[in-house]
Structure 1
Amino acid sequence: MPGFVNLRGMGCDQVRGFEVVLGDGHTVHCSAEVRPDLYRALKGGGSNFGVVTTFYLQTYPLLKTQYTVSLYKPDDYANIIEASVATHKEMETDAQAAYFTNVHRDFVAIGQLYADTPEEEPKVFEPFRKLESMMAPVVPKTDGTLSTLAQAIGHRPPKGKRTIFTISTKVDTDLYLAIHQIWQDITATLPPSSDGTDLHYTIQPVTASAARAGRDNGTGGNALGLQEVSQNWCVFTLEYSRDGDDAVHQAAMDRLYEQVKAAAEERSLLLDFVCPTFADKRQDVLRGFGEENVGLIKEVAAKYDGEGVFQKLQYGGFLVRDL
C-alpha cells in the first residue's frame, strides 16, 4: 500500500546513498553527488545493476498516526466508490491523509489513515463517515505510530496460491464502477468463497503531491516516471487453495486484466506506470517508467555491468534484457 507517500514521496525517495556490489566484484558507493546516474537508476530500476548491500536512509522524527479499519456491506459498492473518489480529491489538499478500499465478495474493508492524532475526526474522511453500510470496525480508531499501523493492517496471505497484477489509472467514478462490474462478472465464474477462492481488488490512492515530493526532497528524483496527477494504483489479487486450478484461475485473471485495461483505455484514463511491487511478472514494468527513464536504465546497466552478469544469471525480475 502506498501509505503516506503524499508527505515525502516513495520509499526509494528516502534513500540518500547505496553501497553496491557490481558484476565484476567491486563495491562502489553512489549518491546524489557520487555516481548520480547509478543512484537515480537504482531508485526504481530493480536488480539490473548490482547487489545492493547497504542503504543509507533519510530519517525523520517519529510520525504519529491515527487509523481505523472497518467493514462495509458489499452491495453498497456504488456509494463506497463515490466516497473513495471524494476522499481522494480531498487528499490533494491534505497530505497527511491516506486510505485504502479493499473489495471482496462478502465485505469491503476501508482503512482510514492519518499522519497525526487529532482529537476531532479529520474532515478529509467525511465521505466515509456518511456511509450507512458499515458492518463492524475490525481495527478501532487508534492513536499509534507507523510501526503499530503496519502491524494492524498487515495482510498475511492464507496458505495456498496467489496471482496478482496492478493497473494505474486516473481517478474517475464511472471508471471505478465499470471496473467493479468487470470484477463481479469474472468473480461469478470462480468457485465460491467457501472453497477458499478469493478474488479481491484494492483502490490505492496516490496524489499528485507524491510525485512532487520525490522530485523536491533533494535526492535527485527517481527512475519511476510518475506523472503529477491524481491516480489509483489498483491491485487485483486472486488467492486460492485447490491444486489443479492454476490454469483456470490464471485465465480468469488474464480476462480481468484485459477488460480492466480496455475500460481505462476507452475513457483515456489509463496511465503507463505499473507499480513493481504489485505487478505480474508478465507486465512491462520498465517501459511504464517512460522513454527517458528507460534510456537511463539501459545506459546505467551497460556502464556498470558491461558483461551483462545481472542479465544472464537472473531468472527474471523486470530486466533490461526483456526491453
Structure 2
Amino acid sequence: MAESDIRLDNEVVIIKGATLKSETCDFNLDNYDRRIDKDQSKLRRALVHDQQDGLTINYDQDYPGGVTIRAVNKLEGDPRNPEHKDGITVQARVLNCQGTDIQLDCKERHAFDANGNRIAGQRRALVHDFDDSLVINYGHDYPRGVKIKAVDLLEGNPSATEHADSITVKARVLNCKGTDIILDCIERHPLDNNGKRIEGQRRALVHDTDDNLTLNYLNDYTGGVKINGEVSFPSGKLKLGENVIKVTSNGASIDIAENVNVSNGKLEIRRGTSESITFAGNEIIVKRTESNYAGPYEARFELVKTVRDLQNTVMKLQNKVTQLEAKLKENKAN
C-alpha cells in the first residue's frame, strides 16, 4: 500500500493517499481574484457537512455565480429519503435545460411486444424540435400514448399561422370520458335588463342519464340550436317528441300525433279513422269513409288565388254543405 504524502509544487499542493479526511464541517474554495464582490467577510463554502447530516454544495448560496456541473453521467436519489424515496427534488423557480430532449425512460415500464419482449427504443418525453415547437412524446416513443390528468386550462397559440389562438386535435377518434361538452364564450351570452351578461352553463353535448346524446342540454343556449347545410339521417327516421319524420324512397312523410301526415307534397289532416281533409296541388279533398247517415263520400274543392275566387269558393262550399245536409236528412228519413 502506498503511503500518504503532501507535496508542494510551486503554486500546486499535491495530496497523495487513499482517503483525504477532514474533520471540519466546512470546505471553503475562495480565490480573491475570482470574487464578484471583494468583501472577504462573506464566505465561500463549497462543501458543508450540514446539521441534517447531509452534504451541501454552495452552502447558503455563498457563490453568487451558482454551481455548474458538467459531463454528469448519473444522478441517484436517496432511497432513505422519507419524503421522496429514491427521488431527486429540484427546487427552483426556473429549471433551464440547454439541451433538446428530456427523456423519462424506465426499462421495467416498457410495454411488451407480441413475443413477450420489452419494446426497445427511446422514450423522449419532451423535445424542443426543429421548428421551435415543444413536442410531447416525440416520435410516438411511448407506444401507449400520453395521459394528462387534472387539467385546469389549455390555451391556444395566438401566434399560430394557421389557426391563431386555437387548439387543433388531430386524431381518428376523439374519446371524451366525461358526460358534458361545454362551449361557453361569456362575451356571447345575452344581456339582461341591466346590461349584464346572463350567467349559466352552456352544455352543448351531454351524455344524459337515459343514455341519450342531448344537444343544448336543458335549453342552456337561449338562442336554441341552428343547423346549417344538409342533414342526413341514415336510419331514415327523425323523431321530434311524439312526432316522427320518415324518409323513404318515395319521399318524406311526417306523422304528427298520428293525425297529420305530410308526404309527396300533400297535407292530410285526419279526424279519427273515418274523416280526412287533404291539401294536394290546387285542391282540397274532404273524405269520409263511413257514416251513420250515409255511405262514403268525397268532395273536391279548388284552391283560390284571389279574394273574389275565395268568396265564390266559400259560396260553393256553403251550397255543398247545404246539399250534403239535405241528403243526410233524406237518408235518415228513409
Question: Above 0.5 in TM-score?
Answer: no
Scaled by the length of structure 2, what TM-score is found? 0.18
| TM-score between the two structures when normalised by the length of structure 1 | 0.18
More helix as a share of residues: 1
Structure with higher Rg: it is: 2
